[in-house]
Amino acid sequence: MAAVDSFQLLYREIARSCHCYVEALALVGAVYTTSRAVVFARDCYSLIRLHFLPRLMHSGDLLHRFGEWAVILGASEDLAKAYAEELARKGVSIILISPDGQGVEGTAKAIADSHGVAALSVQADFSEGHAVCRPIRDVLKDKDIGFLITSMDVSLGSLEAFAGLPEDHLWDAVSRNVAAATLLVRIVLPGMAERGRGAVVNISSGLCCKPTPNKAAFTAITAYLDHFSRALHYEYRHRGVFVQSLIPFRIRSQEGGVSDKGGHSGGWLEPQPQVYARHAISTLGISHRTTGYWPHSLQVHQVMPLGREVWR
């Protein structure tokens, strides 16, 4: 009996001494739960503000906000074509730039016939050097360029060891993505800054912040375009130029395949290019770095260490 009383006394003493620690742990748990709830609410608000409210509200006249003409680099890509068609549907005239001159001529004619806007095509292969900038400048001269849209060539998106890539293929990839986007921004940006309006959209991939084996060149190019866009945004946002880094994940091609912009998923997470373009254009002027499509934003934390930034 004395042993039982001693145990109960010992238990009460231990419970009394630990009571303050229990209260402290309960307070820590409450603070943590509250902070997570606040973060979740903030993320939900950001997602709705960026991806849903702009589509429910009238976004305004794009021609008045940014300009009359859009320059589309990489016009042979399905996503670039869809973006051009969506801009044309809103009354923006289109200039398509691609190494495939004959292919984009047909696209330009189809856009002009379908949407009643002016549509031009320029054949320019940046792998041949910066001399191709001269005919582009001639076409853009005296035009109110309000949009520059650059879309990555996804030919490097397939899994392949870096050492196995042909040198001429690497040269073309770097020239047609890094050099082309950089030089075209250099051509159109002074006019945009002088007019105090314009939008530059560089479309790369959701893998820009995730170095991926067997996609070394692809992820490196996407990282360049992402950082280039973000730096330009901070440099020119006070001069009326909106620069956006658009980093989609997987998008279906016109042929029914998948454009490997990043990630591994399926179904509704892989939109058609036209669907993606409608969503992405609604984020113009709102977010300088975004996936452009709300289901892709749900995938961000799986790929990017700082995924919440793309919701802002």
Q: Evaluate whether residue 74 is within a structural domain.
A: yes
Co-location of 26 and 147 in the same domain: no
Sign of CA dihedral 224, 228, 231, 233: negative
Domain count, the chain: 2
Residue 293: per-residue pLDDT: 86
Residue 47 is predicted with a pLDDT of: 63
Q: Do 44 and 66 sit in the same domain of this protein? A: no
- HEC secondary structure over the chain: CHHHHHHHHHHHHHHHHHHHHHHHHHHHHHHHHHHHHHHHHHHHHHHHHHHCHHHHCCCCCHHHHCCCEEEEECCCCHHHHHHHHHHHHCCCEEEEEECCHHHHHHHHHHHHHHHCCCEEEEECCHHHCHHHHHHHHHHHCCCCEEEEEEECCHHHHCCCCHHHCCHHHHHHHHHHHHHHHHHHHHHHHHHHHHHCCCEEEEECCHHHHCCCCCCHHHHHHHHHHHHHHHHHHHHHHHHCCEEEEECCCCEECCCCCEECCCCCCCHHHCCCHHHHHHHHHCCCCCCCEECCCHHHHCCHHHHCCCHHHHHC
| Amino acid residing at 6 | S
Nearest to 108 by CA among 74, 140, 141, 81: 81
pLDDT at residue 306 is higher than 80: no
Q: How does strand 258-259 pair with strand 251-252?
A: antiparallel
Cross-strand partners of 94:
70, 119
Q: What is the pLDDT of residue 256?
A: 46
Alpha-carbon separation of residue 29 from 15, 96, 216 (angstroms): 20, 57, 42
Rounded mean pLDDT, 249-259: 65
Residue 29 lies in a domain: yes
Note the pLDDT of residue 122.
93
Question: Does 245 score more than 60 pLDDT?
Answer: yes
For residue 257, name the pLDDT band (cuts at 50, 70, 90). very low
| Residue 47 or 160, more confident | 160
Domain annotation covers residue 203: yes
* pLDDT tens, position by position, 110-161: 999 999 999 999 999 898 888 899 999 999 999 999 999 999 877 666 778 8
Shared domain for 145 and 88, answered yes or no, is yes
* Residue 267 vs residue 88, higher pLDDT: 88
Same-domain pairing of 30 and 171: no
Taking 60 as the threshold, does the pLDDT of residue 70 lie above it?
A: yes
Residue 259 inside a domain? The answer is no
Question: Does position 263 have pLDDT exceeding 60, yes or no?
Answer: no
What's the pLDDT tens digit per position in 190-200?
999 999 999 99
Mean pLDDT confidence for 201-222: 87
pLDDT at residue 109, rounded to an integer:
93
Residues 19 and 93 in one domain: no
- Does residue 264 sit within a domain? no
Structure confidence by residue, pLDDT tens digits, 169-179 = 889 889 989 99
pLDDT score recorded for residue 265: 46
pLDDT-derived band at 259, boundaries 50, 70, 90: low
Q: Residue 109's domain is classified under what CATH number?
A: 3.40.50.720
Instruction: Provide the b/e sequence for 76-85 (b: ≥16 CB within 10 Å).
Output: bbbbbbbbbb
Spatial contact of 140 and 71, defined as CB atoms under 8 Å apart: yes
Strand order in the sheet with 242-246: 119-123, 93-98, 69-73, 145-151, 199-203, 242-246, 289-290
Residues 112 and 247 in one domain: yes
Does residue 255 or residue 245 have the better pLDDT?
245
In this structure, are 162 and 19 located in the same domain?
A: no
Q: What is the pTM of this model?
A: 0.79
Q: Is residue 3 part of a domain?
A: no
Task: Indicate whether 258 belongs to any domain.
Answer: no
CA angle 31, 37, 40 (to 5 degrees): 140
Domain containing 24 equals 9-57
Kindly state whether residues 45 and 145 are assigned to the same domain.
no
- If asked whether residues 189 and 296 sit together in one domain, one would say yes
Mean pLDDT value of segment 75-95: 93
In a domain, 262, yes or no: no
Task: State how far the Cα of 222 lies from the Cα of 197, in Å rounded to an integer.
Answer: 26
Together in a domain, 78 and 206: yes
Residues 191, 46 share a domain: no
- Mark whether 48 and 30 lie in a shared domain: yes
The residue that leads in pLDDT, 312 or 83, is: 83
- Per cent of the chain over pLDDT 70 is 79
Sequence-distant (6+) residues with CB within 8 A of 89 are 115
